[in-house]
Structure 1
Amino acid sequence: MRILAFMLIAISGLSLSEPATAQQEPPYWASIDEPEARMRTGPSTEYPTMWIYKREKLPVKILARYKAWRKIEDHEGTQGWMHARLLSASHTGLVLATSGKPVAMRALPSGSAKIVWMAEPGVVGSLTQCEKGWCLFDVTGRRGYISTDDVWGDEPLK
């Protein structure tokens, strides 16, 4: 009986309502996981909406946590609160519009490697293998290495 009581106490202490990635300590990267997501001035639906995002997979920085809410920052530096259910742990990047021209995606992580695709400013894709100034960038199956100077969502945050 004592063992059963201990097991029930141990199980009741587990939180199954949030994914494991939600337990990560800020700052960390996430992405918007819905076609429409509201950024609010505070961590509750009682606070006014300050921005409505209509870009699924858009990368955001998670700066703080309060219950089921996350304080985020977007690529323009705008900060506000978004409910955790609107976010994903997927690591994505946004092609920057620094030059206003398409950005090269290369076959290898080198500025002299063959260009395999061109990505327009504002394009969002998955980021992996980020090292030495390059990330593997995947936009709906079109993959290539992109310079970290041309994408937002890759810099170390800790």
Structure 2
Amino acid sequence: MKKLVLLNLILTIVWVALTGSFVFINFAFGFVLTFLILWVISSDKSDRKYFRVIPSLVSFIFFFIYELIKANIQVAYDVITPTLYMKPGIVSVPLDANSDLEITLLANVISLTPGTLSLDVSDDRKVLYVHAMYIHDKDEFIRSIKDGFEKKLLNITR
């Protein structure tokens, strides 16, 4: 997989150099173009993970940016209005993530989103305790974490 990442980046740099346009959009287009070319010409089954991980990573980045903007707007709206809509609480979120890397990434992504903070992981690493400012429905909050951040992170790491 490392050789495909390196090859994709090298071909992208070649693309940018050949076109002579050193702007981000050209770099992104070159990356997608070389990714598709590598996907088409790849015949090795062990290289297939790379072609699954990159789209999952891009999907996760866009999902995270969306959630970040949504949470910022929600917190900012609550700050500037006279009525407080907060309903804070601590929720135990059962984990499907097993490894230390998966749990750490999930906890950090949750903490980076305004209005939520990862507090602790249980000793058996099966539960993540999260403090949230807006818990109107506990089950909905747990489902949003599991179907959102956790599911997308596990698609990348597994």
For this structure pair, what is the TM-score category when the shorter chain's length is used for normalisation?
Answer: under 0.3
TM-score, normalised with respect to structure 1:
0.23
Which has more helix, going by share of residues?
2
Larger RCO: 1 or 2 (CA < 8 Å, sep 6+): 2
Which has more strand, going by share of residues?
1
